[in-house]
Amino acid sequence: MINSEERYRQAFAHIAEIKRILCATEYALKDQRPATVLVTSAAPGEGKSLFVAALATAAAQSGKYRVAALDLNWDRPALHRFFNLALTHSEKALCAAELSALVCPSGQESLDILTAPGDYADCFKGDTQAGAVTARLIGQARTAYDVVIIDSAAIFPASEMMIDPVMLSGLADGVVMVVLTAATPRQQIRRAQKIMESSGASILGVISNQRKLSAP
Ligand SMILES: Nc1ncnc2c1ncn2[C@@H]1O[C@H](COP(=O)(O)OP(=O)(O)OP(=O)(O)O)[C@@H](O)[C@H]1O
Ligand SMILES: [Mg+2]
């Protein structure tokens, strides 16, 4: 049975805007391969995971790339829901195994998904090696795929549980910021942008997600 998140992902991957965003991203990255794009936002819940799922699907459907979408928002995992997958890996498995043994087929040709660990919150002891582990997994993804799209945490509020998107931006060729229009305060968006820029991130663009919060 197809869930509502999967339905959204399939619908979004087909809309003209996503295809334009894919073109703009290709242009910004000058068709470089492998290309790694980090998706983040100033605040939680702005639509990052939906955008990652739709962009990765559109990139795979273009027929030009082998695509991997990585859920590196381990504290609030969501990417699996857009592909009807389960969080089957433990954090220990993610720390030890090769990426090739961890990715799941998405159901879309040329698109593989790395889901987050299912036990991250239970295992978290404050001394996580997540930074080193995610750097290794991104490196392996860049070897095996043409396009790597990373779903990450929001920049605010910073928490010790999250894999810091600012740290991840150093491993990506470009950063896309999702903004939930008319919801996120402008000042917070500016602060997020400054933090990213001052850490050397290349911001490729901003996605305005015009989801109506009052809609069901
Ligand atoms: N434009 C939209 N139209 C309909 N639903 C949307 C839209 N944008 C986001 N949503 C829904 O809002 C919810 C939150 O979106 P999503 O999980 O993508 O946000 P997020 O930024 O990844 O959140 P988090 O910070 O927790 O990782 C999801 O249920 C998603 O399907
Ligand atoms: Mg998310």
Q: Quick: pLDDT tens for 68-111.
A: 999 999 999 999 999 999 999 999 999 999 999 999 999 999 99
Q: 129: pLDDT confidence band, cut at 50, 70 and 90?
A: confident
Ligand 1 neighbours, Cβ below 6 Å, are 5, 8, 41, 44-50, 73, 76, 78, 154, 209, 211
Closest CA to ligand 1's atom 17:
49
The pLDDT of residue 19: 93
Ligand 2 midpoint to CA 130 (Å): 17
> What is the rounded average pLDDT for all residues in the chain?
93
Mean pLDDT of 126-141: 89
Measured CA to CA, the distance from residue 162 to residue 73 in angstroms comes to: 7
Least confident of 10-24, 45-59, 102-116, 160-174: 10-24
Does residue 139 register a pLDDT over 80? Answer: yes
Helices 48-61 and 4-14 pack at an angle, to 10 degrees, of 50
Does residue 214 register a pLDDT over 70? Answer: no
Q: What is the b/e burial string over 2-19, where b = at least 16 CB atoms within 10 angstroms of the residue's CB?
A: eeebbebbbebbeeeebb
160-189 confidence digits (pLDDT tens): 999 999 999 999 999 999 999 989 999 999
Percent residues over pLDDT 70 in the chain: 97
The pLDDT of residue 112: 98
Does residue 131 register a pLDDT over 50? Answer: yes
Does residue 215 register a pLDDT over 60? Answer: no
Closest CA to ligand 1's atom 10:
47
The pick from 6, 14, 50, 209 for probing ligand 1's pocket by mutation, whose C-beta has the most ligand atoms within 8 angstroms, reads 50
Does residue 213 register a pLDDT over 80? Answer: no
CATH number of 4-209: 3.40.50.300
The pLDDT of residue 157: 95
Ligand 1 midpoint to CA 45 (Å): 5
Closest CA to ligand 1's atom 31:
5
Contact 133, 72 (CB under 8 A): no
Ligand 2 midpoint to CA 39 (Å): 9
β-bridge mates for residue 178, sequence order: 41, 207
Closest CA to ligand 1's atom 16:
47
The pLDDT of residue 216: 45
The pLDDT of residue 127: 67
Q: Which residue has the tokens 């809609």?
A: 215
Ligand nearest to the CA of 47: 1
Q: 13: pLDDT confidence band, cut at 50, 70 and 90?
A: confident
